[in-house]
Structure 1
Amino acid sequence: MKKAVSIFLASVISTYSLTYVNAQQNESELTDNQNLVTNQGTQQQIEKHLSHEGHHSSALVSAKDALKALLADIKQYRATFNQTVVDAQQNVVHEAQGVLTMTRPNKLRWETTFPDETLLIADGEAVWNVDTFVEQVTVLSQESAIKDNPIVLLTASDNATWSQFSITELNVSVEDEALRSFQVTPNEVGGQIKTLTLTFNSLGNLAALNMLDTQQQISTLVFDNVETRFVLAADTFAVDVPDSFIVDDQR
C-alpha cells in the first residue's frame, strides 16, 4: 500500500488532500438514525463487549456540559492506539498503530509506527505534516485546518468553539464496566467529518473514538497504556525539519 495518512489526520487537517482509499463518491448521505447504527457497528471494534443502542440518554445541553467536564479534566493525555478504517460496505481499508499525545490548549502530536512512520504536530498555531518517505513537510494554519471540525474539542476549552457543535450522550451497554459515550455533530454542514463519537472508561479517561466522514468511511481508534500525568518533553510539539526536506508552507 502506498504510504497513507489515516483518516484521523484527515480530520485534523480536513482541507488537506491525503492519499487514501476512498469510498464511492456518489453514495447517498446517511440519515441521523443510520449514523447511530453505523456508529453502533463501529463501536463493537472498540471493546469486544461494547455496543451502542442508539438512544439519547440526556438533554442536549447537559450532554455538552458532561463532555466538556470530562475533557477539561484531561489536562494532558498520552496513549498508544490501534486504528481501523472501514468503508461504507464495512470493508477494512486501512489499519495503523502509533502514539497520540495531547495537551490543553490546542496541542497534539500524532505519530504512527505501523505500517508506515508518519508524524503530524499541531503546535497551537500551525499543523505540521511530516512525510519522511518523500522528505517533505506541509504546514497549514491550525485555525483554518480544524475550523468546524469536531476533533478540535479534544483540546479546546473556549465557549465559542464548543458552540459550533451539537452533542448527544448515547446509551452504552457493557459488561462489568461503566462507559460513557458522546456523539459530536458540527452545526454547519460541509466539513469532512460528519460525526465524532468519544467513549470514556470508568476512570474518566478517553478509551476510544470513531469518526464518520462524508465518504461514509469510519475510523475507529482504541487507546491503550493511557497516561494523564507525565513529564512532557520540551520538544514534544516542535518540528525539526532536516535541511534536505522540502517545506510546503500553505499558511
Structure 2
Amino acid sequence: MNKAVSVYLVGALTTLSIGLSVKSAVAQNTASSTTTQMASASQSAQSPSINLELKSSARASLQALLGKMKQFRAGFEQTVVDAQQNVVHEAQGTLTMTRPNKLRWETTFPDETLLVADGEAVWNVDTFVEQVTVLSQDNAVKDNPIVLLTATDEATWAKFSISELKSASLSEGAGSKGVLRSYQITPKEEGGQIVTLTLTFNQDNELASLNMLDAQQQISTLVFNNIETRFPVAADTFSVEIPDSYIVDDQR
C-alpha cells in the first residue's frame, strides 16, 4: 500500500456504477475547494450568524445521510495526485464499513493489501514484507475527518466544521437525472494529516465518492461502484488472521 494512502486509511474508522459525469463533478469540487474556503471565510466575516446557521444545517443534513448508512460496501477506484497534479498512485479494491467504528479496506490492484479497523484497533497487513502493524484505533483517528463515516457520538462530530458545497446535476448521459450533494469537512484543530475531506452523495443519497486533501497538498480521490447498503456481514469481516511467518509490530 502506498504509504500516504496508508496514513489516510489507518485514520479511518472509518447502488450505482459511477459514470464519467460523477468523476467530472468530483474533479470540479476539488478544483473549487480553495475558492470555496476563501468565499466561506469572507462570508463568515461579513455575516457570522448566517454562516453559523448554514454550517449547523449542513452538519444536520450530513448526519442524516450518514445515519442511514448503517452498512456500506462498494468497489472503488482511487487516484492520488501531488501538488502539481501529477498522478502518484492508483488503486482498485473494495471498502466495507458498518456503524459504529468498523472498516475493512482491501486492494486488488496494483497490489493485494488489507487494512481492518475492528472498533478497538487498526490492523495494517503488508503482504509484501509479511508484516502486520497494529495501532490503537482511538489514537489513529485523532483529528481525522474520515472518522465521521462511522462515528456516531457528538463529541467526535464537534471536532469538525462542515459546509455543504454547491450541488452538481447529473446529466442524462449518466443514466438518469439527479443531483449530487457534497459536504466539505475540516478539522477545527490544525496540524493534522488531513486538511479537508469532501463527501459526495448521488441522487439516491448513497456515498458516491470521497476526496481528501492532505498536509502535503496531495489529493486522494475514491470513486465508488456497485454500492450496497444492505447485506449480510460475515463474522470474520472485521478480523485479521495472521500467518505464523508474519512479523507483528504492535504499537497499541
User: TM-score normalized by structure 2?
Assistant: 0.83
What's the CA shift string for 1:188-212, capped at 9, x where partnerless? 0110000000000111110000000
CA deviation string 1:103-156 (max 9, x = no partner): 000000000000001100000000000011111000000000001110100000
Equivalent residue for 2:24, pick from 40, 48, 56: 48
- Counterpart for residue 93 of structure 1: 88
2:105 corresponds to? 110
Match of 2:174 in 1: none
Structure ranking higher in helix proportion: 2
Partner of 2:249: 248
- Matched length: 219
Where in structure 2 are the equivalents of 1:64-143 lying within 5 Å? 64-143=59-138
CA distance in 1, matches of 2:226, 2:80: 21
Instruction: Give the equivalent residue in structure 1 for 2:7.
Output: 10
Distance in 2, Cα, partners of 1:135 & 1:93: 24
Q: Distance in 1 between matches of 2:60 and 2:25?
A: 27
> Identity, % of aligned pairs?
65
Maintained 8 Å contact 2:168/2:181: no
Select 1:152's aligned residue among 130, 135, 147.
147
SS in 1 for 2:167: strand
Say whether the 8 Å CA contact 2:80–2:219 is kept in structure 1: yes
5+ long unaligned stretches in structure 2: 12-19, 41-50, 172-176
1:234 aligned onto 2:235: yes
User: Equivalent residue of 2:192, what SS?
Assistant: coil
Structure 1 contact 87–217 (Cα < 8 Å) conserved:
yes
Contact 2:10 2:124 in 1 (8 A): no
Q: Which residue of 2 aligns with 1:171?
A: 166
TM-score norm. by structure 1 comes to 0.83
Question: Is the 1:77–1:228 Cα contact (8 Å) retained in structure 2?
Answer: yes
Cα distance change of structure 1 residues 84 and 46 upon mapping to structure 2, 3 Å threshold: farther
3-state SS, counterpart of residue 127 of structure 1 = strand
Using a 3 Å threshold, how does the CA distance of structure 1 residues 194 and 45 change in structure 2: closer, same or farther? farther
User: Structure 1: which 5+ runs fail to align?
Assistant: 15-43
Partner amino acid, structure 1, of 2:2: A
Give the distance between the partners of 1:102 and 1:168, measured in 2 at CA: 24
Partner of 1:35: none
RMSD: 1.8
Q: What is the distance in 1 between the residues matched to 2:24 and 2:182?
A: 16
